[in-house]
């Protein structure tokens, strides 16, 4: 693990420079194909859908860790440099800073043009809710919420697990996250089968979501002078969410930007009565989407700096 002090900076820089190139082979897309291909096999022989979903999720997560681990081992026998390059690429694929900012800014530019149909289409790539009835304000709110939540899913958690267990653990986390995004729904099809995937994802993001509070607060202090407000709002209202984790970064963003987020929304044609976060503030406007992107970007650097600082201190301690 001592090599992570130089592997992670290269992976982080690659994401900032290149983002998520669609033309290159992508392990996250392979994960999606594996989930789609293997799901019918796990559904058929199991009478208990919850247990079938649990075994399905555990097998895929463990298989991901095992494949990445042994790929790196085999390549290290060929030459250590080849293994290091692959580990950099795996961690690079696990991080989603540039692609998240690009997607959210596409929503921002559509809102700036007052093109509601385009804005709805753009935000549909970021959220799982029904977007056909969203107003301009609703679209702005959905974009800010997605940036806040995905700061954890796409940046903090991958960095956290990469710092603990390198590329194998970072990729295992991405499989957990991909499973949740594909089968972790409370609808007719996945209410039972996807329950385990959703719970595993909740557990995996539990610590990073709470660590996001001081990280976002520091970024909010630097950008807007609202660090204390972000921290207080996150502590006070972070639990006011249907997700056990998403409310904390969203509440920190709400306090930093002084906006009201969340609230009732339609999912699969059904109205879900989600509580508001940042209840004393007004609803977000177009400019808040860009501010959210700026705060996500700075929060990513803050979290990276903290993780690297701890890694270097730990590495230095090991050498003494």
pLDDT of res. 23? 66
pLDDT band at 312; cut points 50, 70, 90: confident
- The structure tokens listed for 316 are 């230095």
- The structure tokens listed for 78 are 């060929």
The pLDDT tens digits of the residues spanning 242-300 come to: 899 999 999 999 999 999 999 888 877 788 888 999 999 999 999 999 999 999 999 99
The pLDDT tens digits of the residues spanning 38-54 come to: 999 898 766 688 999 99
Quick check: 3 pLDDT over 80?
Answer: no
Percent of the chain whose pLDDT exceeds 90: 75
**Average pLDDT of span 170-194:** 91
pLDDT of res. 317? 46
Quick check: 304 pLDDT over 50?
Answer: yes
Return the residue matching tokens 């800073």. Answer: 97
The pLDDT tens digits of the residues spanning 30-39 come to: 999 999 999 9
pLDDT band at 320; cut points 50, 70, 90: very low
Percent of the chain whose pLDDT exceeds 70: 95
pLDDT of res. 55? 94
pTM for the model stands at 0.93
């Amino acid at each position: 693990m001592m090599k992570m002090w130089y592997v992670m900076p290269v992976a982080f820089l690659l994401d900032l420079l290149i983002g998520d190139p669609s033309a290159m082979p992508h392990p996250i897309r392979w994960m999606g194909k594996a989930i789609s291909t293997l799901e019918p096999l796990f559904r058929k022989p199991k009478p208990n859908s919850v247990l079938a979903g649990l075994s399905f999720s555990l097998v895929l997560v463990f298989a991901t860790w095992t494949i990445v681990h042994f790929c790196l081992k085999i390549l290290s026998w060929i030459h250590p440099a080849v293994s290091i390059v692959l580990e950099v690429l795996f961690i690079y694929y696990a991080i989603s800073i540039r692609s998240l900012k690009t997607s959210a800014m596409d929503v921002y530019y559509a809102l700036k043009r007052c093109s509601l149909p385009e804005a709805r289409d753009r935000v549909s790539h970021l959220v799982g809710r029904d977007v056909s009835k969203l107003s301009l304000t609703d679209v702005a709110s959905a974009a800010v919420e997605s940036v806040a939540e995905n700061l954890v899913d796409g940046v903090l958690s991958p960095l956290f697990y990469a710092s603990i267990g390198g590329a194998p653990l970072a990729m295992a986390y991405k499989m957990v996250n991909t499973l949740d995004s594909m089968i972790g729904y409370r609808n007719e099809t996945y209410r039972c089968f996807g329950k385990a995937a959703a719970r595993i994802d909740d557990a995996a993001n539990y610590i990073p979501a709470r660590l996001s509070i001081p990280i976002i607060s520091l970024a909010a202090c630097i950008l807007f002078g609202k660090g204390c407000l972000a921290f207080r709002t996150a502590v006070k209202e972070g639990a006011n969410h249907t997700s056990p984790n998403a409310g904390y970064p969203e509440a920190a963003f709400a306090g930093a930007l002084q906006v009201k987020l969340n609230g009732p929304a339609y999912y699969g044609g059904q109205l879900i009565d989600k509580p508001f976060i940042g209840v004393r503030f007004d609803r977000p406007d177009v400019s808040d989407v860009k501010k959210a992107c700026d705060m996500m970007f700075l929060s990513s650097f803050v979290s990276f700096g903290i993780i690297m600082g701890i890694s270097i201190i730990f590495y230095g301690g090991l050498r003494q």
